[in-house]
């Protein structure tokens, strides 16, 4: 039954989109506020995944419970990285280019460290729900992906509310839109940078906990994620969290259909090609207004 | 010595680059409108940025109420009571008008007082009340300028520095901008204005300053400068223009 | 009213500009690179007295990176467009020459210039597309390029997919087996360094450097920036492709995970940054240091994971503390030894 297949693929695509949305939103926040294209973001997601993996493997702790822990650990790492590396780069003339290279190097450091510590073996956490599914008629919804999608959207909503309604959230948005003006109105933009960076990296940790039971992973896999996440953030209009979330769902669904019709290999290609096409045809993304990066 | 703000022999420039200002001096008297004119690249905007702490003052001094404010960060200058509206309208395009006003009082502790003052501002500038939930980026140029000027009034600062508020606006709108400035002085706000439109600026100013080559070349009452033949020749495009 | 002293300001400007200009011409020492060249050409004579295969391999390996890093430098150093995806051209050159070698038995050394041209032509086409964006967007697009090519090569049956194609080893006795490739790489490296010198000091090179300083101003100054950038991309792809061509036969394998791994493209970037982006000697010095460093790590620790970690760490430290690289930093402080001033 072709129709049922189509619905099934849509559901699977959407479920995957939820996870990518959380992975991408931290990246988007950091870019929006700091103008840092954080190529190390996926490698830090990987760190979160390992935290969840070992907590599950050694202590039988559910990844959902490890999630806030991973979030806090990674946020603290974010503070450290900001203080050690990125704060001093703020005065660099070729700032955005410099930070791309720096985060690229950081990604290698993280990959190398994880590879040294845990080898390149494929890992996955397997709580009960990871292999279970709901059935609606003949359509099945994998529980693991459903739960991770719900958690991911909850976290993103909390972030959106914080940005929209708290004074500090407003300061973050203001800094994203006009850094100089925010500074002139008394916003401590350096603190805003620090906090946003910490939140962004914290979200990477949270996403890692979810990823740990949705995908199998090994340290070098973050390269594949980089291009996937970049495609979301670029398509969403760099720095727009809502755009990133929408892009995550759109691309995941397209990738699911491509995978169904042409095979799994080409499914990943969807993201890369989308990234390429968007950068070249509409560098400001679907929802961005001006070509920030062009 | 009733100078509120005094800039003396300031040397400043961007980053490690050459000095744009080479000993600029300006005296700002309480309650008056001051207008700085001069050709492109004379250092007019640079001077305002140096006062507000966006650029480092390499030599010379900036004093506010007799106290040196040299080397302070922009947010510290703001707390002293000096507000700066930079040239490229300093708005947050994807935040609403109301949110933009709220950002104007970001440094205020008392948030209910802030909301009260925003209401006051909205009463005075009805267009802002009408458009309160609209994104600032969708306002017209004149409305955006109104918003950025009105926003400074939330903090009730002593000095407001405006960098070419009339830039890119139609003559009729420019007149409105100068009206807002008059409202501000009525509130007891001292104004330091940089204007490319020298005629318009000097006409509304109590005190005029001519800046060129990074130095103060001439200063005096606005009308006097306007009528000075040398100034007319050099900066106002000859007698006919006046 | 103070007098207007324009002379004074102009004098200050001139003094300032002079302080920026590097003391260039008089300190150049052309004999030094030529002496190195002569020494390297004579080096294989050591094989008469013992087995120096490892040393030969190291020099060959370094020379291959001199070719690639000098090529990358034309785009990344002179023009200011950082590509993290230049191993794509390494792969294209390698596969083109490798397949021709496997099917038609034409030596890759002879084919290298042709493979370079193929890579260059592809670079031209890709450049036409990706050079429409700059800064971080360009860097991201270059990463995406690697991903796309990797998927293609891994699924292209004609070139053996992920398993690749095995190439025939040459029939020379073991102590001489490396020499054809050794000389090929030495000659290519010398050519790359010479060519990048000529490019840098040509009108074309001046245009590229203007683009890296301020693209919009360059364009309004009448430089056809689009053509210049795309040509720079093609030239850099040419050199990288040429290196790839011979590398495949040397390893007797063409396989995606030889050519399309991120470490290859990172090495090119890192060598230029460490040595000094935009300088002539920079990529050479960077290649020597990074290869030496890699060998040290592989020899002492053996693990490629630690190698990745250390490479990343060095890159971070370089970027943070020596963004101008060794040559650039020394030149700025006017402490660059004469023998290293090849600019």
The answer to whether A105 contacts C155, with C-beta atoms less than 8 Å apart, is no
Token code pair at residue A65: 């419970």
The answer to whether A184 contacts B90, with C-beta atoms less than 8 Å apart, is yes
Give me the pLDDT at residue C9, please: 55
Q: Answer yes or no: is pLDDT of C22 > 70.
A: no
Given pLDDT bands bounded at 50, 70 and 90, which one contains residue C7?
low
pLDDT above 90 as % of chain B: 27
Token code pair at residue B180: 């807002």
Q: How far is A198 from chain C (nearest CA, A)?
A: 20
Query: DSSP secondary-structure letter at B195?
Result: -
Q: Answer yes or no: is pLDDT of C19 > 70.
A: no
Interval B27-49 mean pLDDT: 87
Q: Establish if A182 touches chain B: CB-CB under 8 angstroms.
A: yes
Nearest to B217 among C2, C9, C16 (CB): C2
The answer to whether C2 contacts B212, with C-beta atoms less than 8 Å apart, is no
Neighbouring chains of A at 3+ CB pairs within 8 Å?
A: B, C
Provide the number of CB pairs (under 8 Å) joining chain B to chain C. 17
Token code pair at residue C231: 């040509």
What is each CA distance from A92 to A43, A97, A214, B48, B208, in whole angstroms?
25, 10, 39, 23, 38
Give me the pLDDT at residue C11, please: 67
CA angle C268, C271, C273 (to 5 degrees): 110
Token code pair at residue B175: 């007149």
CB contacts, 8 Å: C306 with chain A: 112, 116
CATH superfamily, region B1-81+194-242:
P-loop containing nucleotide triphosphate hydrolases (3.40.50.300)
The answer to whether B104 contacts A188, with C-beta atoms less than 8 Å apart, is no
CA distance C271 to C65: 8
* Torsion from C-alpha of A117, A121, A127, A131, nearest 10 degrees: 160
Cβ–Cβ < 8 Å for C225, C81: no
Q: Establish if C2 touches chain B: CB-CB under 8 angstroms.
A: yes
Query: DSSP secondary-structure letter at C132?
Result: T
CB contacts, 8 Å: B213 with chain C: 4, 6, 9
Token code pair at residue A117: 């510590």
User: Long-range CB contacts (< 8 A, 24+ apart) of A141-146?
Assistant: A141/A11, A141/A15, A142/A12, A142/A15, A144/A213, A144/A214, A145/A12, A145/A15, A145/A16, A145/A18, A145/A19, A145/A214, A146/A15
The answer to whether B95 contacts A181, with C-beta atoms less than 8 Å apart, is no
Token code pair at residue C341: 């001033």
Provide the number of CB pairs (under 8 Å) joining chain A to chain C. 133
Q: For chain A, list residues with pLDDT below 70.
A: 1, 91, 93, 283-294
Question: CA-nearest residue of chain C to B24?
Answer: C2
The answer to whether B214 contacts C13, with C-beta atoms less than 8 Å apart, is no
Give me the pLDDT at residue C132, please: 84
Give me the pLDDT at residue C207, please: 93
Which one is predicted more confidently, C285 or C2?
C285
Element containing residue B6 per DSSP (H, E): strand B3-13
Each residue's pLDDT tens digit, C209-232: 999 888 888 888 888 999 999 999
Provide the number of CB pairs (under 8 Å) joining chain A to chain B. 64
Give me the pLDDT at residue A81, please: 94
Cβ–Cβ < 8 Å for C318, C273: yes
The answer to whether C137 contacts A104, with C-beta atoms less than 8 Å apart, is no
Interval C234-256 mean pLDDT: 94
Given pLDDT bands bounded at 50, 70 and 90, which one contains residue C3?
very low
Question: CA-nearest residue of chain C to A293?
Answer: C137
Give me the pLDDT at residue A293, please: 39
What is each CA distance from A21 to A45, A150, C179, C316, in whole angstroms?
13, 11, 53, 29
Interval C27-33 mean pLDDT: 75
- In b/e form, how buried is each residue of C145-181, taking b as 16+ CB within 10 angstroms? bbbbbbbebbeeeebbeeebbebeeeeeeebebbebb
CA angle B36, B38, B39 (to 5 degrees): 150
Residue B29 CB neighbour total at 10 angstroms: 15
Q: Establish if C9 touches chain B: CB-CB under 8 angstroms.
A: yes
Where exactly are the structural domains of chain B? 1-81+194-242
Which one is predicted more confidently, A210 or B43?
A210
The answer to whether B92 contacts A183, with C-beta atoms less than 8 Å apart, is no
Residue A69 CB neighbour total at 10 angstroms: 17
Give me the pLDDT at residue A203, please: 96
Each residue's pLDDT tens digit, C147-189: 899 989 999 988 888 888 888 888 888 888 889 999 999 999 9
Where exactly are the structural domains of chain A? 13-219
CA angle C128, C162, C124 (to 5 degrees): 10
Exposed, middle or buried, C82 (CB in 10 Å: 0-12/13-18/19+)? Answer: buried
Neighbouring chains of B at 3+ CB pairs within 8 Å?
A: A, C
Q: How far is A185 from chain B (nearest CA, A)?
A: 6
Q: Answer yes or no: is pLDDT of C58 > 90.
A: yes
CB contacts, 8 Å: C10 with chain B: none
pLDDT above 70 as % of chain B: 96
CA distance B226 to B175: 18
CA distance B179 to B184: 9
Q: How far is A10 from chain C (nearest CA, A)?
A: 24
Nearest to B106 among A93, A177, A187 (CB): A187
Give me the pLDDT at residue C5, please: 54
Cβ contacts of C204 within 8 Å, gap of 6 or more: C228, C231
Q: Best of C226, C305, C325 to disrupt the A interface by mutation (most A CBs within 10 Å)?
A: C305
CB contacts, 8 Å: B87 with chain A: none
Each residue's pLDDT tens digit, C304-337: 788 889 889 988 998 888 888 888 888 887 778 8
Exposed, middle or buried, A126 (CB in 10 Å: 0-12/13-18/19+)? Answer: middle
Each residue's pLDDT tens digit, B15-34: 777 788 888 889 898 888 99
Each residue's pLDDT tens digit, A188-223: 888 999 999 999 999 999 999 999 999 889 998 998
Residues in chain C: 343
Cβ contacts of B54 within 8 Å, gap of 6 or more: A180, A183, A184, B74
- Smallest CA-to-CA distance from B158 within B53, B67, B77 is with B77
CA distance A241 to A247: 10
Give me the pLDDT at residue C304, please: 78
Give me the pLDDT at residue A3, please: 78
Cβ–Cβ < 8 Å for A67, A56: no
Cβ contacts of C17 within 8 Å, gap of 6 or more: none
Give me the pLDDT at residue B117, please: 92
* Torsion from C-alpha of C141, C147, C153, C155, nearest 10 degrees: -130
Each residue's pLDDT tens digit, B201-224: 888 888 999 888 888 888 888 888
Q: Name B218's bridge partners.
A: B210
Give me the pLDDT at residue C21, please: 53
CB contacts, 8 Å: C142 with chain A: none
Question: CA-nearest residue of chain B to A178?
Answer: B92
CB contacts, 8 Å: A89 with chain C: 320
Q: Answer yes or no: is pLDDT of B238 > 70.
A: no
Query: DSSP secondary-structure letter at C169?
Result: P
The answer to whether B214 contacts C9, with C-beta atoms less than 8 Å apart, is yes
Q: What are phi and psi of C140, to 5 degrees?
A: -65, -40
> Does the interface predicted TM-score (ipTM) exceed 0.95?
no
Q: Establish if A187 touches chain B: CB-CB under 8 angstroms.
A: yes
């Amino acid at each position: 039954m072709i129709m049922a297949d189509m619905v099934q693929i849509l559901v699977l695509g959407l479920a995957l989109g939820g996870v990518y949305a959380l992975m991408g939103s931290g990246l988007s926040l950091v870019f929006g506020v700091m103008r840092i294209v954080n190529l190390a973001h996926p490698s830090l997601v990987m760190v979160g995944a390992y935290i969840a993996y070992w907590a599950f493997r050694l202590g039988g702790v559910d990844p959902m419970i490890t999630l806030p822990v991973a979030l806090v650990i990674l946020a603290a790492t974010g503070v450290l990285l900001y203080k050690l590396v990125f704060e001093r780069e703020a005065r660099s003339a070729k700032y955005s280019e410099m930070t791309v290279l720096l985060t690229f190097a950081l990604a290698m450091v993280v990959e190398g460290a994880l590879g040294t510590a845990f080898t390149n073996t494929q890992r996955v956490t397997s709580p009960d729900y990871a292999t279970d599914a709901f059935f609606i008629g003949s359509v099945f919804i994998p529980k693991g992906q459903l739960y991770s999608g719900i958690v991911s959207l909850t976290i993103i909503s909390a972030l959106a509310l914080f940005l929209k309604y708290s004074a500090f959230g407003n300061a973050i948005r203001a800094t994203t839109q006009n850094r100089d003006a925010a500074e002139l109105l008394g916003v401590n933009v350096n603190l805003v940078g620090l906090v946003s960076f910490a939140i962004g990296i914290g979200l990477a940790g949270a996403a890692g906990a979810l990823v740990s039971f949705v995908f199998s992973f090994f340290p070098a896999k973050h390269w594949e994620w980089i291009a996937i996440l970049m495609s979301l953030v670029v398509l969403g209009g760099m720095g727009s969290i809502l755009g990133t979330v929408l892009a995550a769902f759109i691309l995941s669904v397209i990738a699911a259909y491509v995978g169904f019709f042409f095979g799994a290999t080409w499914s990943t290609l969807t993201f890369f090609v989308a990234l390429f096409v968007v950068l070249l045809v509409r560098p400001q993304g679907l929802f961005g207004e001006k070509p920030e990066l062009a | 010595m009733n100078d509120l703000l005094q800039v003396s022999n300031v040397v400043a420039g961007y980053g490690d680059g050459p000095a744009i200002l080479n000993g600029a001096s300006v005296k700002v008297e309480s309650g008056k409108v001051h207008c700085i004119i001069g050709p492109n690249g004379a250092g007019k905007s640079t001077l305002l940025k140096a006062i507000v702490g966006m650029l480092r003052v390499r030599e010379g001094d900036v004093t506010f109420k007799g106290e040196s404010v040299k080397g302070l960060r922009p947010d510290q200058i703001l707390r002293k009571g000096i507000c700066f509206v930079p040239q490229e309208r300093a708005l947050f395009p994807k935040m609403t008008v109301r949110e933009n006003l709220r950002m104007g009082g970001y440094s205020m502790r008392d948030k209910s007082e802030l909301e009260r003052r925003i209401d006051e501002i909205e009463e005075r500038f009805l267009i802002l009340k009408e458009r309160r939930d609209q994104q600032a980026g969708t306002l017209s140029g004149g409305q955006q300028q109104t918003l950025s000027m009105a926003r400074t009034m939330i903090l009730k600062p002593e000095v407001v520095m405006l960098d070419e508020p009339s830039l890119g606006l139609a003559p009729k709108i420019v007149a409105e901008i100068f009206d807002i400035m008059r409202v501000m002085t009525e509130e007891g706000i001292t104004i330091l204005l940089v204007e490319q439109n020298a005629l318009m600026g000097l006409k509304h100013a109590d005190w005029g300053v001519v800046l060129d080559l990074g130095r103060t070349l001439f200063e005096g009452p606005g009308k006097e400068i306007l009528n000075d033949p040398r100034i007319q020749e050099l900066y106002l495009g000859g007698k006919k223009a006046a | 009213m103070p007098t207007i002293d324009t002379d004074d300001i102009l004098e200050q400007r001139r003094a300032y500009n002079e302080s920026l200009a590097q003391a260039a011409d008089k300190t150049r020492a052309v004999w030094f690179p030529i002496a190195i060249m002569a020494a390297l050409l004579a080096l294989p004579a050591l094989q008469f007295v013992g087995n120096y295969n490892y040393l030969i391999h190291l020099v060959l390996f370094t020379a291959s990176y001199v070719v690639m890093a000098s090529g990358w430098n034309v785009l990344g150093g002179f023009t200011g467009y950082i590509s993290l995806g230049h191993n794509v051209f390494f792969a294209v050159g390698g596969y083109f020459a490798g397949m021709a070698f496997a099917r038609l038995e034409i030596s890759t050394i002879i084919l290298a210039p042709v493979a370079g041209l193929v890579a260059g032509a592809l670079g031209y086409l890709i450049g036409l597309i990706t050079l429409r964006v700059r800064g971080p967007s360009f860097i991201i697009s270059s990463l995406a390029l690697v991903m796309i090519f990797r998927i293609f090569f891994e699924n292209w049956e004609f070139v053996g997919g992920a398993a690749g194609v095995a190439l025939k080893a040459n029939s020379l006795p073991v102590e001489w087996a490396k020499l054809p490739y050794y000389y090929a790489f030495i000659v290519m490296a010398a050519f790359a360094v010479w060519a990048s010198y000529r490019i840098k000091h040509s009108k074309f090179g001046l245009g590229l450097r203007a683009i890296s300083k301020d693209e919009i101003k360059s364009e309004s100054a009448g430089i056809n920036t689009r053509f210049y950038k795309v040509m720079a991309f093609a030239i850099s792809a040419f050199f990288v492709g040429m290196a790839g061509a011979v590398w495949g036969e040397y390893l007797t394998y063409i396989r995606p995970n030889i050519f399309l791994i991120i470490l290859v493209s990172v090495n090119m970037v890192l060598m230029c940054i460490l040595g000094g982006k935009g300088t002539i000697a920079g990529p050479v010095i960077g290649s020597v240091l990074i290869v030496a460093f890699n060998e040290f790590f592989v020899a002492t620790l053996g693990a490629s994971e630690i190698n990745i970690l250390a490479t990343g760490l060095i890159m971070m430290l370089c970027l943070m503390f020596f963004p101008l690289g060794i040559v650039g930093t020394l030149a700025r402080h006017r402490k660059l030894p004469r023998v290293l001033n090849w600019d």
